[in-house]
Amino acid sequence: MTFNPDADISNHRVRKSGRGAKVAGGAVGVGGIIALILALVTGGDFSQLLPMLGGSDTQEQAEPSGGTGLEKCQTGEDANTDDDCRLAGATLVLDSFWEQNVSGYSAPEMVIVEGSTSTPCGTASNAAGPFYCPSNQTVYIDPTFWQLMRDQFGASAGNLAQIYVLAHEWGHHVQYIKGVMRDHPNNGSGPDSNGVRTELQADCYAGAWVAHASEQKDDNGQTYMKAPTEAELVDALNAASAVGDDNIQKQSGGFVNPESWTHGSSEQRQRWFATGYQYGVGACNTFDVSGADL
Ligand SMILES: [Zn+2]
């Protein structure tokens, strides 16, 4: 899913934050992977385990002095050639869509994490995986997560797959604005828990946005993005599948235990993404269907 090269993305508000970049060749250590799997399966933050697991060789680095660290992201061309700018550009396309679809919408903050950074929701790093923090309405993504998706979950993590992950996190922000988390509080894990319904709705919202992303326009009336190709849609569905709890449990060597699911199965995540893509935001009624239809 590519951007129109002359689209204007210069008014994005994404910033970089972090201290400590991975050393040892930039590879993600096994400790990071274990912590990531635990985080994805349980929703918790296990990055504090990293020293024990031997995976957190980090180096202190100075914060970027002033600025956002992403002034380089000015045009659609930048978004097509740079992973950080792709995310920065996509935030504008997401906000444009959701402003039209949710009354009282206000854009979340977005931070691209380098190494790790502390947040009101715990430490953000590739070990924690991408997440949305409701208490400061901020999305955190560490782009090294893409390589981890490729290596550990067999996903190709191409352009649209990356944008799908971002759109899923934006979906959680929309849920926050709509009061979904307040109306359907955490009632534990399990295949038809509120947690799984919340996650599948965020997948559905991501699909609804992808279907209309190419209609969103910048301040000059130029559309930001081109419509996704079939191959890109397959790639995004592949990503949705790869981060299904059943796949993560299999990849991590465990048996598939639906009672510990917090995100939904691979099949469910693909199906709800496709439901949003085909039928729109109104069809994302994951809290209204029975457990059998979820
Ligand atoms: Zn989620």
pLDDT tens digits for 260-290?
778 888 899 999 999 999 999 999 999 999 9
pLDDT at 291 over 80: yes
pLDDT tens digits for 41-85?
444 444 443 333 333 333 334 444 568 889 999 999 999 999 899
Q: How far is the CA of 5 from the centre of ligand 1 (A)?
A: 30
Q: How far is the CA of 6 from the centre of ligand 1 (A)?
A: 32
pLDDT tens digits for 108-126?
999 999 888 998 988 887 7
The mean per-residue pLDDT over the stretch 8-35 comes to: 63
Q: How confident is the model at residue 217 (pLDDT cuts 50, 70, 90)?
A: very high
Q: How far is the CA of 175 from the centre of ligand 1 (A)?
A: 11
Q: How far is the CA of 163 from the centre of ligand 1 (A)?
A: 14
Percent of the chain with pLDDT strictly greater than 70: 81
Q: How far is the CA of 74 from the centre of ligand 1 (A)?
A: 29
Q: How far is the CA of 216 from the centre of ligand 1 (A)?
A: 24
Q: How far is the CA of 219 from the centre of ligand 1 (A)?
A: 30
Burial grade of 290 (CB within 10 A; 0-12, 13-18, 19 or more): exposed
Q: How confident is the model at residue 255 (pLDDT cuts 50, 70, 90)?
A: low
Angle, vertex CA 182, rays to CA 47 and CA 102, nearest 5: 100
pLDDT at 37 over 60: no
Q: What does the pLDDT read at residue 240?
A: 79
Q: How confident is the model at residue 253 (pLDDT cuts 50, 70, 90)?
A: low
Answer positive or negative: Cα dihedral of 88, 92, 93, 99.
positive
Selection from 41-45, 80-84, 142-146, 212-216 with the highest mean pLDDT: 212-216
Summary mean pLDDT of the chain: 82
Q: How far is the CA of 253 from the centre of ligand 1 (A)?
A: 22
